[in-house]
Amino acid sequence: MSSPLLVRRWADLDAAARAAFLARGLDDIFDPALQASIAALVADVREHGDAAICRALERFDGCSVAPGDLRVTDAEFAAARAETPAAVQDAIRQAIDHSRRFNERALEHGDWRFDIEPGLMVGEKRTAIASAGLFVPSGKGSFPSVLVQIGTPAVVAGVPEIRVVVPPIPGSDGKVDPAVLVVADELGLRDVFRANGPAGVAALAFGTESIAACRKVLGPGSPPVASAQLEMQRHGVVGMQILAASESMVIADATADSRLLAADLLNEAEHGTDSASVLLTWEPEVIERVQPELVRQLAALPEPRRTMAAAAIGVNGGAVLVRDRAEAIEVANLYAPEHMQLATADDEAVLAGIEHAGEVLLGQHTPFSAGNYLIGIPATLPTSGYARVTSGVTALAFTKTISLARASAEALAVMAPAIVALADHEGFPAHAAVIHKRLDPQG
């Protein structure tokens, strides 16, 4: 069996080939036909509420649900406990505990103040957003880890109103994944609703008879779900565009264990045929050694995971050979992957140059699956290069800051000439007047 790994030499790629390698997934989100279809669905939910959600469930999920049955019942929560294996429930509790502790640390210095000049205090007060809508995918399988990843930070942040939308299990006629309900129960979240992905996003944004509107909507999803979140932003609802298409990059040198390297490349590759898994190295022998391991390990995967993983390393991703470590860092920052692992002789030296990545896992004892499930760091991360401008979901994503300042009379007097100069320059006499009246009470 020939190696499934697509090998590219960065120096041999022209500008168009490099752009194609870097721009993954975006065409799917911004496809005009998809955007038009999602806009129509969103408009239907906005106008017709629960009835539109039920129509979307019938059309896209093949299940018939009455408008009054969108909310998950207490009986379903109780049944979910009985249906979810004890080992999975224990793992969920461990994952929530680690995520909770990570996010509590992220918020430790939420409020701060300091004297920027004598007599002039500045600072910030951090507060939770008023409400959050969380989307948890369900179409391709059971993903309780997603609700751990986005629900725990929202709870830690202190968001007073949290609502969760989950598409029903395919072919179940409306049943919500029991493992997801166990996570919701552990987090104390009871506002859980069954709804199709894009329609559920619209419901969270606009509100319906059953689902109250939320000020921020987020959660990973397919291109239609991402497109719906983009549409919500057009209507003034803050969203986070996170594609479900998974992507990973491993930067490795000859010190890496090839057997583990192959396993790590296949980790995120098995998510789907739209996933991308990239090996980045400046040593050709790394590619040579990993290829037979990939052949063996890929053959051991069951279908359809084998086909998905083959696409991720043979069509969408593959190995990229660069000149040296410096060029590897340059290419990694251009790619800005969702998941990154470093498997080199000096991971800290490589990390020093990394500026754009959703997460960086240091060393081969820190595999992607550990980050995905249990370590506690964010695992719901920006994809398609969005790591260049945004971060993974932490408690900070569910908070905002209020700027604070207090000036003494002496500090204001020191600033006065500069304030007046700028006010006069910009033509705002009332801005200058508030200064003059404080410095000259008779003026």
As annotated, the active-site residues are: 338-339
Three-class secondary structure of residue 174 per DSSP: coil
CB 357 within 8 A of CB 337: yes
Nearest to 32 by CA among 40, 24, 22: 40
Strands 7-9 and 359-362: unpaired
Give per-residue burial for 71-92: e unless 16+ CB within 10 Å, then b.
ebeeebbeebeeebeeeebebb
Cβ 413 vs Cβ 439: under 8 Å: yes
Residue 349: both structure tokens together: 């030296």
Q: Are 325 and 282 in contact (CB under 8 A)?
A: yes
- Helices within 188-257 (DSSP H only): 197-206, 223-234
Token pair in block for residue 141: 């399988």
Residue 299: helix, strand or coil by DSSP? Answer: helix
How far, CA to CA in Å, does 115 sit from each of 86, 196, 333, 404?
53, 51, 36, 11
Query: Can you list the positions of beta strands (E) in 55-197?
Result: 112-117, 120-128, 131-135, 161-166, 192-194
CA distance 345 to 1: 31
> What whole-number distance in Å separates Cα of residue 152 and Cα of residue 100?
6
